[in-house]
Amino acid sequence: MYRRGGPWPTGLRWLLAALRALLVALVCFLLLEPYTRRIKQEEVKPKVVLALDNSQSVGLFTGKDALDRTLRELDQLAERLAQKDIEVVRHSFQAGDTLLGSLADASFRAPITNLHGLLEKGDRAFRTQNLAATILISDGIHNQGPTPTFQTYAAPIYPLALGDTVPKRDVVLEEVQYNKINYTGTSFPILARVRHNGFRGSSVTVLLQENGRTVQRKTVALPRNGGSLETTFQVTAAQPGKKHYEVLVQPLTGEFTNLNNRRHAYLEVIKGKLKVLVAAAAPHPDIKALRSALLTNPLLDVEVVLGPFQSPSFKTPYDAAVLHQIPNLAGLGTDWLRRLRAARVPTFYILGAQSDYNAFNALQAGVQLGRPSVQYDEVQPVLNQTFRRFSTEPIAQTRIRTWPPTAVTFGDWSVGAGAEVVLYQQVGPVRTTKPLLLYKATSAAPTAVLLTDGSWQWRLTEAADHGNSQIYDELMTHMVQLLANRRNQKRLHVYPVKDEFEVSEGVALQADVFNAVQEEIFGQDIALTLTHEGGRQTRHRFRHEQGGEGLRLGNLPAGVYRYAASARVENQNYTDNGEFVVQEQNLESLLAVADHDLLHQLAQRSETRLYYPTQLAQLEQDLLKANFKTVLRSQEEEKDLIEQPWFYFLLLALACSEWALRRFFGTL
């Protein structure tokens, strides 16, 4: 194009040719897949974490003036360290408190003390960012989580001791023991353990209260050796429901504090246990695993029958039945099955090598096997995350994946209308849509089906790997309870996300709304009246949306709360009611004596020493003597040239320059 002719001078022609040649060469250069390499260096200053134990015990049992002065001096220490090129961050039990500009602004309201969690919080945040030291500011009282003296941390710990180790003259209601589940008409104990210091030979009065009313009173003599004593209240509840009792030790003159004289007991009174039949055509390891799992739930009364050696009693109606390989090829248990179906008892079928699949298909239990085969698939369970009849622990998905494969009869499994899959089958690495465990709630008597007789291996594996079989036990008990409670025909169901809340966590309620065929529908406005323990009522409204957060009530005082909800569904009004508990443990007021021994052990493990508020200057000197180093971190980055925008702008500049010169000097 530029060899001859054209309206351009020779120099311009060579320039245009060079621009065009360079453009083509750079485009062709991309065929070689070139890349660039860049080394980026940054300086990471050493970080020191000020980990403040802002629990209630520090604020209650450390002098306010001394505590304020110590916190101000620590803030000044942080400023001096920052001038020495040491970055200081502040942590406490609150989320997002690294933005706190001053320790003096902290409020001591945390209801528990988890020192390991506090130390681990700084480790997680700065383990890879040159974490040099952690200054733990605490009274050493630890009442939740792993003991920090047996843990390993990424940086040395410099404990700063608060509080007072001198025992105070005090009476402490140390513990209240009771059964959380009791039955109507029976007498159950509430045991109170009282400890004292400095009141040898005195007597105290212990009260049991319900709704602010004293129901029982006992006067006991405190032991002369300064130890503890126990006293028991026998209680009988005639009506079912959640109960809230308070145990109160009347204060004595001269006590250091009255905050540890009161504790709460939250329990539930129910009508009776659910009667569950576990029947098998022959002895099998599944029976042992199922029985052990079901017995972990105190609400279940389990009767085990092994044919042909035993027969069900049928003395009282069964709330649910678990039938292992019944119907059976040998005909064992056929009469039991007939009686259970006549009584419309919800049934959990477990299938295996001895199952009569033709007879099972006739039961319309929610799944059918077309043309049964003598071949088997080795399948692993996969949890269906969309199943919402009951909740599972967050760790369930991970644990269930580790369960060993079990044998399932090969064939065309078809899921019936109204059946919901709980577990799917995974064959090798392939996840299928075939069911392994399912539940059907649309029949007169709800049913569940497990397509393998090898679930006992799941329980053994989980216990061996994790030390307990929690997930397997909960899965089986939830399935049986779901059956035993029978199908919920309510059109409106409002329920708390958990039965018991702590005063430190927000209370939340969820709702389910169903149409006439028990399909969940959305978009309804729900009105709710909440009755507090003292009788005060508050009214709330929320909208039932798919994936919505329900009704969030925030933090509530301790007590038993009852609610009544109403909604208009398909031009009719429906109501529901329930109750939940907000409990207060008062762990922080239980001990008024600081535990500096724990802080000393932490210092020994870190090869540091224990400091007191009067030794902050020594703490500063020791931190500076440690001579924490700034880390120079290099990061190499490789990036394909074709992915870099500047290269395309260069190509565009070459093309535009050529075009502009040709345009300006005569022709395109």
Residues 526 and 655 occupy one common structural domain: no
Q: Cis ω on the peptide bond leading into residue 327 (within 30° of 0)?
A: yes
- 130 inside domain: yes
Which residue do the tokens 């700084």 mark?
122
- 129 inside domain: yes
**C-alpha span between 42 and 39 (Å, rounded):** 10
φ, ψ of residue 336 to 5 degrees: the values are: -65, -45
Mean pLDDT score, 498-502: 78
- 5 inside domain: no
Which residue range is the domain that position 71 belongs to?
Answer: 46-164+593-629
Instruction: Note the pLDDT of residue 97.
Output: 62
**C-alpha span between 106 and 97 (Å, rounded):** 9
Residues 386 and 449 occupy one common structural domain: yes
Residues 394 and 437 occupy one common structural domain: yes
Mean pLDDT score, 49-74: 90
- 306 inside domain: yes
Residue-wise pLDDT for 237-280, tens only, equals 778 888 889 999 999 998 888 888 988 888 878 777 789 999 99
Residue at a domain's end among 268, 290, 308: 268
Residue at a domain's end among 268, 283, 299: 268
Q: Give the three-class secondary structure for 455.
A: coil
Residues 515 and 552 occupy one common structural domain: yes
Residues 355 and 464 occupy one common structural domain: yes
Residues 219 and 322 occupy one common structural domain: no
- 1 inside domain: no
In this predicted structure, the answer to whether residue 204 has a pLDDT above a threshold of 90 is yes
Residues 479 and 381 occupy one common structural domain: yes
Mean pLDDT score, 444-470: 91
pLDDT band, very low/low/confident/very high, at 487 (cuts 50, 70, 90): very low
In this predicted structure, the answer to whether residue 632 has a pLDDT above a threshold of 90 is no
- Least confident among 215-219, 269-273, 450-454, 483-487: 483-487
Helical ranges in 410-455 per DSSP H: none
In this predicted structure, the answer to whether residue 96 has a pLDDT above a threshold of 70 is no
Instruction: Note the pLDDT of residue 184.
Output: 77
* Angle subtended by helix axes 470-484 and 456-466, to nearest 10: 140
160: which strand partners?
137, 611
| Six-digit token string for 49 | 């974490």
Q: Quickly count: other Cβ atoms within 10 Å of residue 547's Cβ.
A: 5
Mean pLDDT of the chain: 87
- 4 inside domain: no
Residues 318 and 298 occupy one common structural domain: yes
In this predicted structure, the answer to whether residue 378 has a pLDDT above a threshold of 90 is yes
CATH classification at residue 389: 3.40.50.880
Q: Which amino acid is residue 460, in one-letter code?
A: L
**C-alpha span between 188 and 446 (Å, rounded):** 34
363 Rama sector, left if φ>0, alpha if ψ -120 to 50, beta otherwise: alpha
CA-CA distances (angstroms) from residue 560 to 105, 182, 246, 534, 587?
34, 17, 12, 9, 20
- State the total domains in the chain: 5
In this predicted structure, the answer to whether residue 488 has a pLDDT above a threshold of 50 is no
| Six-digit token string for 1 | 């194009």
Contact 350, 325 (CB under 8 A): yes
Residues 472 and 342 occupy one common structural domain: yes
In this predicted structure, the answer to whether residue 486 has a pLDDT above a threshold of 70 is no
pLDDT band, very low/low/confident/very high, at 8 (cuts 50, 70, 90): confident
| Six-digit token string for 640 | 């394909």
269: which strand partners?
182, 241
- 2 inside domain: no
* All residues at 6 or more sequence positions from 17 whose CB lies less than 8 Å from its CB, including other chains: 1, 2
Contact 649, 153 (CB under 8 A): no
Residues 59 and 147 occupy one common structural domain: yes
**C-alpha span between 392 and 89 (Å, rounded):** 37
Q: Give the three-class secondary structure for 651.
A: helix
Between 465 and 9, where is the model more confident?
A: 465
CATH classification at residue 132: 3.40.50.410
Torsion over CA: 512, 518, 522, 527 (sign)? negative
**Which DSSP helix (H) or strand (E) runs through 646?**
helix 645-664
Instruction: Note the pLDDT of residue 513.
Output: 86
Residues 58 and 128 occupy one common structural domain: yes
Residues 62 and 211 occupy one common structural domain: no
| Six-digit token string for 398 | 């991970």
Residue at a domain's end among 435, 451, 484: 484
Share of the chain above pLDDT 90, in %: 43
